[in-house]
């Protein structure tokens, strides 16, 4: 009678097959993970353009339709100081003038707040040197730039994932 020996381990071929299968599964999983990350980045870009930008457009159109004049500034401090000269390209702030029925003017400011990634509207005091109240037009903005092209104001907003939208407006002067 012959007694057979029991195997106590795996052969080299069995170990190789298992390692190849594990590597294939890991590669496929990593590929799916990278596709998911790319999709989420694309989705976030489209979310800014599809959801945030139209809301910003609505707010900017409402504010701009009431304005009689505008002046672009490089920053908020220059606009509120009243000493700086306006610019026509690359400003982060636009001051708007609103004529009132009694002949006076009210002023507002649309400003890009880089520290908080948002664009705000500020109602200015009677002398246009301080802010009375504020509200946010749109958040999640990586950059905002005001320019004047052919007498028309252009506002370009860039979302946090790179989606861009440009608005153009011309208040009745």
Distance separating alpha carbons of residues 110 and 94, to the nearest angstrom: 5
The label of the residue with tokens 């590669």 reads: 27
Q: Domain range spanning residue 130?
A: 37-169
Q: Is position 28 within any domain?
A: no
Burial of 128 (C-beta count, 10 Å sphere; 0-12/13-18/19+)? middle
116 assigned to some structural domain? yes
Residue 53 lies in a domain: yes
Geometric angle at alpha carbon 69, from 96 and 167, rounded to 5°:
70
Which candidate, 151, 49, 155, places its Cα nearest to that of 92?
155
- Please indicate, yes or no, if residue 18 is contained in any of the structural domains: no
In a domain, residue 120? The reply is yes
In a domain, 12, yes or no: no
Determine which helix (DSSP H) or strand (DSSP E) holds 108, and give its type and residue range. Answer: strand 105-113
Assess if residue 65 is contained within a domain: yes
Q: Give the span between the Cα atoms of 53 and 55, in whole angstroms.
A: 5
Q: What is the pLDDT along the chain (173 residues), one digit of tens a residue?
A: 666 667 678 899 999 999 999 999 999 999 999 999 999 888 877 777 788 888 888 888 888 888 888 888 888 888 888 665 666 678 899 999 898 899 888 999 999 999 999 999 999 988 888 899 999 998 888 999 998 888 788 889 888 777 788 888 775 54
Number of domains in the chain: 1
79 in a domain, yes or no?
yes
Q: State CA 111 to chain mean position distance.
A: 13
DSSP letters for 125-167: -TTSSSEEEEEEEEESEEEEEEEEETTEEEEEEEETTS-EEEE
Structure tokens at 147: 């320019």
């Amino acid at each position: 009678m012959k007694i057979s020996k029991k195997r106590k381990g795996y052969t080299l071929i069995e170990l190789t097959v298992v390692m190849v299968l594990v590597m294939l599964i890991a590669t496929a999983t990593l590929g799916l993970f990278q596709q998911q990350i790319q999709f989420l980045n694309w989705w976030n870009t489209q979310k800014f353009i599809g959801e945030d930008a139209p809301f910003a457009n609505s707010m900017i159109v409402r504010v701009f339709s009431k304005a009689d004049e505008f002046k672009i500034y490089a920053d908020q401090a220059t606009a509120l100081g009243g000493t700086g000269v306006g610019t026509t390209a690359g400003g982060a702030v636009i001051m708007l003038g609103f004529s009132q029925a009694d002949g006076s003017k009210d002023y507002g400011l649309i400003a890009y707040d880089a520290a908080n990634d948002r664009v705000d509207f500020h109602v200015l005091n009677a002398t246009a040197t301080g802010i009375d109240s504020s509200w946010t037009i749109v958040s999640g903005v990586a950059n905002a730039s005001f320019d004047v092209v052919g007498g028309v104001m252009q506002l370009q907003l860039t979302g946090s994932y790179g989606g861009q939208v440009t608005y153009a407006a011309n208040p009745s002067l």
